[in-house]
A and B are shown apart, each in its own frame.
Chain A
Amino acid sequence: MTEENPTAAVKRTQIIDPTPARRKRLTELLLAYLDDKVSLAELKGLSREQLYQLSEAGFVKFKHGRLDEAEKIYQGLIVLDHRNPYFHAMMGAIHQRRERPIEAILEYSQALKLDRKDVSAYVNRGEIYLRHKNYKKAAQDFRNAILLDMSGANLWANRARSLVIAIKRSIEADKRPPRR
């Protein structure tokens, strides 16, 4: 398979004949799709730029609190390209804002499975664990995030640094005997 040429991709119409060759190609495409080597967007002919533009539109809606619309956009994007960790992480953030912790953790975990270096996904997932008093997992996620940004430039890693203090305080508060 060759790399994408944006102009050629739009104009391309492949008509392969005779039928046996086309049948072979269809089988190969189906196998590639089942093996996660090809996305639905690629089968449908949607370009990387189109997905990126949709993602930008979804992000703007997410940023301005229009979560319903953002959710619909990212749901569609996940169907179109389930291998993109950004879509899963954004979906996780949407779930987190809508107070659906289980779904958010599932999406963040999927995003991290696809990209082990996503600082923001680690921090957001860790924060959900922290809020549900799962301190061990929260600490692991914050540790991973901090290790990925030793310069202190990443806003999410900085949040992880402050949340580590929150973990310590929460553990101390849990251990403290009740007030008389």
Chain B
Amino acid sequence: MVDMSRAPGRVQEKEIRSNLSSVEIKELLRDANISEIKAKLPAGVSQADIEKFLRDQYGSFRGQILQEADIKAVEAAYPPPELYQHRFAVHHTGTVLTPEEVTQFNLEMRQYMESSGFKAMAASKGLKSTGSEDSVTPMSDAEIAEAAQGTLGEVQGFMDETWSMIMDAQMMQDMESKSNEIKAEVERIINLVKQGAIGPEFALIALAKVNATKNGVLMTWLGKKASHINESLNNISNDLSGMSPGSPDYYSSLTVAQNRTREGALQLNLLTTDMQKVMQDCAQVLEQVKSMMDMMTQGRRQITQNMKL
């Protein structure tokens, strides 16, 4: 029986569940409509109670078993703008510049830049125009484009430099962490060798591993640098392919691109040489370890042979 005086909650849900779990009701749930089910249920259970119960059951089935909806976001995803409508601030009216105002603004700025006060200020800051020595004129479109290009170049240079510093710092960090990792292992092996628990060959192998690990970090660093240079070469090529061969700047851009490509190729060659050196060092150490192990084996064999005699 359902006590309707109780507050709705888990108890009521449990009671509805117990009422709905009889075989007769289960049969009705398959075919009959909700009014027929209600007629079979004890008094006090309303149609709304049953509907709510079934709705909750369906909700928990979808949420807990089917799990159709996403539970968490994926990497680098971001919600659509409709969830952030509040961030689109209402625009102020009365701030729109009319064409006349833009013209007047340009005119005023030009007049101001041609004024004696501005010229004196510019001269005090060491600014000189391209024309006469004492006059400062506004920049032409070509000058602005050139200045913008120069600034872009500076930004690019700064990014390149920063990137290189980050790479170096990462390499140092990797080197330090790998060295710490391997140091403990080497010490353990050397102790075992000293105790006579394992052969001295293992100490050689451990030392070779130290060398190989350090060289591995260096190779990764060089590889990343090469990859970055390769990417910048691709960018140069893409920039050039985006230009029209008929454009007046095409020839100068082509020359700059050729110079940069040549410089990049030279850097790549240097990096390849460094990589070869690292690999040679690695191979040399392995070769030395192998020859030392051979000598030790040979020495042991010699001792055994002498003992037989």
Contacts and interface: CB of A to CB of B under 8 A. Distances in A.
Interface of A: 1-5, 8-9, 12-16, 19, 22-23, 25-26, 29-30, 32, 38-39, 41-48, 51-52, 55-56, 59, 62-63, 83-86, 89-90, 92-93, 96-97, 115, 120, 123-124, 127, 155-156, 158-159, 161-162, 177-178, 180
Size class of the B contact interface (CB-based, 8 Å): 35 or more
**Of B77, B79, B89, B95, most A-chain CB atoms within 10 Å:** B95
Interface string B165-201: 0000000000000000110110000000000000000
A156 B105 CA distance: 46
Given A26-B105, A51-B88, A178-B181, A1 B80 contact: no
Contact of B93 (A9, A86, A155): A9
Contacts of B92: 1-4, 38, 42
B111 to A, nearest CB: 11
Interface of B: 70-82, 84-85, 87-98, 100-101, 104-105, 108, 181-182, 184-185
Interface of A, helix, strand, loop or mixed by DSSP? helix
Contacts, number: 133
Given A162-B72, A180-B185, A47 B78 contact: no
B51 to A, nearest CB: 25
B91 A155 contact: no
A83 B89 contact: yes
A44 B96 contact: yes
11 contacts: A22-B104, A44-B96, A48-B90, A56-B81, A120-B77, A124-B75, A158-B72, A161-B72, A162-B72, A178-B181, A180-B185
Contacts of A41: 91
Contacts of B96: 9, 12, 14, 42-45
Given A1-B94, A14-B98, A15-B100, A158 B108 contact: no
B104 A56 contact: no
Nearest to B159: A102
B185 A178 contact: yes
A38 to B, nearest CB: 5
Contacts of A8: 93
Contacts of B79: 120, 156
A117 B19 CA distance: 47
A47 B91 contact: yes
Contact of A62 (B78, B82, B94, B181): B78
